[in-house]
Each structure stands twice: as structure tokens, then as C-alpha cells.
Amino acid sequence: MSSFDEFWERWFRRRRPFSGLFEDIDEFFREIERAFEREFEDLTRRVPKDLVRERTLPNGTRVREWGPFVYGYSITIGPDGKPEIREFGNVKPGIGRFGRPSVSIREEREPLVDIINTDGEIKVIAELPGVEKEDIKLQGTETTLIISVDTPQRKYYKEVELPEKVDPKQAKSTYKNGVLEVTLPKKKEVPKGEPIKIE
């Protein structure tokens, strides 16, 4: 045995009381690895089937592709001076069982939407890249506007709560360069009933 080997043998022998510590650390990392595997399996079950694709590479290897997964937010300052946060995408963070962070994934992507409230009308501007005008469906009520697109390539869905009542029958919309703009005139308040003169 060389002096180098003897040195390492003595070094390990001196540290043998700490061997339990190293085993604990190994077990700790194995537990983390098992937790990641469980989370990954759980996520796999929750992903919509349209967001998972399999293909074969030229060398014959099969690979699984996921997505697209999109999450983003926009922050603007409202007229009252308070920040307004609008989320978009198809991934929604939340709180799951036992207060643990969770993620919900939808097939439809939520577009980024801005609402502009002026004196006589409300404008809703939505980013819908990659679709044709004919694929966009709009449905309006006095208080909401629903924007939806359902094509094999793109799926969007957003239900917009309007800040005031509008007249959906008078709405106008345009779509250009991936941006949808819907103009909704505000509903004129009609007095209820007729005034009656007291004699």
C-alpha cells in the first residue's frame, strides 16, 4: 500500500463518526428527487391532451413535446391611482391542497386585454396573434364581452367584465395585425316611468 493510500485510509477512518451525516444528506437528496418525480407525474395528468405531442426524430428516438405554456401579466395605473394587474396565458398559478402552490393549465390561452373607459364608450383591446378575422367569435351583453377563438393551431378565451353597462347591439369591432379592438357605446340611462304632475 502506498503512503498516498495510507493517508486516505487514515483520513476516512477519522471521519467515520460522520458517516451517518453523509447518509442523512444522501437520503435528503433522494427524497427531493422523489418529490420532483411525484410533482412531474401530477403535472402530466393535468396537462390537456392537445398540449402534449409525440414525434419521432430522424435517428428513430421518440420524444414528447409539451406546450405552448404561456403566463404573463400587465400592470397599469387606474384612474384612481391604484395599480391594475391583468394576467394572460393558459397557465394560472394558485393555491392547491394543504396550502401548497399549484398550477392549473388550460387548453385555451387567455389573451392580454386592455379596457379603456371614456365618456361615451368602452373600448376593449385584445391581442390575438396568429388567427384570422373569421376565426374570432364575439358575444356581448350589457356587462360582459366574451372573446373566443377555437382553431387547431390557436385557442383563445376571455370573458371581460365591463366597468359600465353598454349597448352590445351598437358595438363595432376591427381586427388588424393580431390586435382586436371592440368599441361598445355606453347604455343611455332612460328614466323609469313618466313624470306625473301633482295638482
Say which residue the cell 376591427 belongs to.
174
Q: What is the pLDDT of residue 67?
A: 66
Kindly report, residue by residue over 146-189, the tens digit of the pLDDT: 999 988 888 899 999 999 999 999 999 999 999 999 999 998 87
**Of 52 and 31, more confident:** 31
Q: Which residues contact 74 (CB under 8 A, 6 or more apart)?
A: 85, 86, 88, 112, 114
Q: What is the SS3 assignment for 93?
A: strand
Residue 17 pLDDT greater than 60, yes or no: no
- Cα separation of 1 and 4, whole Å? 8
Residue 104 has pLDDT above 70, yes or no: no
Q: Which grid cell is 146?
A: 366574451
User: Which residue do the cell numbers 398559478 mark?
Assistant: 93
pLDDT tens-digit readout, 55-103: 788 888 887 776 666 677 777 776 777 777 777 776 666 666 666 665 6
Tell me, what's the pLDDT at 183? 95
